[in-house]
Amino acid sequence: MTTKMMSYLQALGNFDRARILAYLVKHEGETADHISRQLNYPKATIYKYLRELENVKLIRSEQKNRKKQYFVIPFAIKISHETLDEAIYEAEPTYLQVVRERYGGEKLDEIRQLAKDLKSGKTTSTLRQAASKIGVEYYELMIALDELGIL
């Protein structure tokens, strides 16, 4: 439960994601295209945020007439000093989350790309060189790749 609460808080901690969610509360079944126009965000940004909201199960999507419609999944978050403390200590973040916090989402994307390249044998450098190129420490790259199932 606490892990779920932390994922809700993380998702809603971003103003744009929260705004999209709030919009969907009032406009159930909207498409990404429509939300993009109404809220004036680039489509790529909308897709990214919708995907993130869907990942934490704050929204769900349905395919209708070749269009994907989005719906809010009812949720409730009750925060008190006790539940927040509990949530932080019980929701074990993965190292990938640490990477995101320390370096931002772009580095995480680079690590994910490296993981894909390693899987398909496309890499042309050693893992230590890759860590240096991405700009993360080798040890943390090893943990991140392990979490991604690459090691």
Partner 1 sequence: MSKVLVPDSSSLIFVDRRGKLDLLKNTINKDFEVCIPPAIARELIEDPQKLAEKIHPLYPNIAKNLLESSSRFKKAVEVWIEIRPIDYIRYSEAMDKTRIRLSKFDKKWEHSVKKSDAELIALCVQLIDNGDEVLALLEDENLKRVLNEITENVKTLSIKEFLPGV
Q: Catalog residues that contact partner 1 under the rule CB under 8 A.
A: 89, 92-93, 95, 98, 101-102, 118, 121, 123-129, 132-133, 137-140, 142-143, 146, 151
Nearer to partner 1, 9 or 72 (CB): 9
Long-range contacts of 43-49 (CB under 8 A, 24+ apart): 45/16, 46/20, 49/14, 49/16, 49/17, 49/20
Q: Give the strands of the sheet with 59-64, arranged side by side.
A: 30-31, 67-72, 59-64
For the bound state, the minimum distance from the C-beta of residue 91 to partner 1, rounded and expressed in Å, comes to 10
For the bound state, the minimum distance from the C-beta of residue 21 to partner 1, rounded and expressed in Å, comes to 25
Nearer to partner 1, 33 or 146 (CB): 146
What is the rounded (10 degree) CA torsion for 17, 22, 23, 26? 160
Nearer to partner 1, 52 or 147 (CB): 147
